[in-house]
Amino acid sequence: MQDLLSAAYPWIKSLHVIAVISWMAGIFYLPRLFVHHIEKVAPNSETDQLFQMMERKLLRVIMTPAMIATWLFGLMLVAIPGVIDWSAIWPWTKALAVVGMTWFHMWCAAQLKTFVAGKVNHPGSYFRKMNEVPTLLMFVIVFSVIARPF
């Protein structure tokens, strides 16, 4: 199995990067939709239903499959001998940041449920601030993998 994974390394890595880009696009966009939804849309209006549909489809059709693919291809990369030096700190900082990104994904899903229930308790500024979380996590991930400062 390891020989097969080693031979497929460039393909697995490519698919991992594609999945990450897709996931991050959604992770950055969904909180922005929440900002506009809470600031510009009247509850129970036709536009409210439109925003809910857009947010739901972004989460279910793009973000969640991309998150699953990111994890799947990432774990396949981890299984290839020699790809990760677990005695270094960088794989651990990356792993922690990926877990944080997954938490943020789940937070987005929970926020969507509050919009559907009509029980949003946060102003647009809250969602603007929360939208910075994945940016910070992205910095940790990219620097951990590419610069490997640790």
pLDDT tens sequence across 93-137: 999 999 999 999 999 999 999 999 999 999 999 999 999 999 999
The residue ranking higher by pLDDT, 36 or 6, is: 36
Helices 90-117 + 46-57 axis angle, to 10: 150
pLDDT score of 149: 87
Max Cα distance, the chain (Å): 57
Listed residue (51, 136, 150, 46) closest to 93, CA to CA: 150
pLDDT score of 81: 87
pLDDT score of 124: 94
Percent of the chain with pLDDT over 90: 92
8 A C-beta contact, residue 93 and residue 142? no
51-24-94 Cα angle (round to 5): 145
pLDDT score of 145: 94
Length of the chain: 150
Q: What is the mean pLDDT of the chain?
A: 95
The pLDDT of 84-91, averaged and rounded, is 93
Listed residue (82, 81, 61, 83) closest to 16, CA to CA: 83
